[in-house]
Structure 1
Amino acid sequence: MFEKLELTRMAQALAAQSGARMAVIAENVANADTPGYKAKDVPAFSEVYEAGGLDMRATRPGHLVGHAAANLPAPDLVRGHESPNGNSVSLEAEMVKSVEARQSHEMALAIYRATSDVVRASLGRPR
């Protein structure tokens, strides 16, 4: 039922994008001392959404295959200063990005929770 609401589909895609970004950030932090490692990041959700990166709306089952979370963009290399060993990971920048990703994920969950509360209230069911 919830997957038919555009707002919940967008919130699910935002949560998936935030999770993917956290995974890339964790990989960057894990390789902070690896010589030659280049930092990566996932494009911002707003850029992907504005570029039409979300799935089209299906008109019937089987019409379109896939899900917005499955079509997340691949991580890109981040330009920045490199250390003498060629590593471009900045732990400070990764901390800032992790906070942004956590806030986006929490916002997506809050939207999904609020939407489910509205649907429950419209059906006359308590929390």
Structure 2
Amino acid sequence: MADNSLFGIHGAALEVRGQRMGILASNIANSSTPGFKAKDIDFQKALRSAQGGSIDGAVTGATMYRVPLQPSLDGNTVDLSTEQTAFAENAVQYQTTLAFLNGRINEVTRALRGE
């Protein structure tokens, strides 16, 4: 189960955000690949699904193809500016979640030391 008493939902959120970052990076890297279909993860759907089971299964179930605003002639559906914006936003959210978890770990460490 992805939710636990020490980290709550934040551990699962970090993992989903990490996997989303990989998908968005793949989209950016393949922006010139003919026929490449951009994908993304519905973060909220993946997080809800992760609460009841595996994160990998939740991510797979929440991954979808992105519908392009303007299709290209070579069949590539990557809109580079959309992908870069989504990547930057996800990176900030990833860092925020990571900072929260680091704070929580520091709290537990201090408590164990009796500080």
TM-score (norm: length of structure 2): 0.79
- Structure showing the higher helix proportion among its residues: 2
Measure how far apart 1:42 and its partner are: 1.0
The residue number in structure 2 matching 1:59 is none
The answer as to 2:46 corresponding to 1:48 is yes
Q: 5+ unaligned residues in a row in structure 1: which ranges?
A: 57-66
Matched AA of 1:116: I
The alignment's C-alpha RMSD in Å is 2.2
C-alpha distance in 2, partners of 1:86/1:24?
18
Matched AA of 2:37: K
The residue number in structure 1 matching 2:93 is 104
* Deviations 1:89-122 (CA, angstroms, capped at 9, x unpaired): 0111111111121112112211211212222333
* Deviations 1:52-101 (CA, angstroms, capped at 9, x unpaired): 31244xxxxxxxxxx64333322210011211211110111111111121
Q: Taking CA–CA contacts closer than 8 Å with sequence separation of 6 or more, which of the two structures ends up with the larger relative contact order? A: 1
Q: 5+ unaligned residues in a row in structure 2: which ranges?
A: none
Aligned residue among 72, 77, 85 for 2:65: 77
The residue number in structure 1 matching 2:36 is 37
Larger Rg: 1
- How many pairs were matched up? 110
TM-score (norm: length of structure 1): 0.73
The answer as to 2:27 corresponding to 1:22 is no
Aligned residue among 105, 112, 115 for 1:123: 112
Using the aligned pairs only, state the percent identity.
24
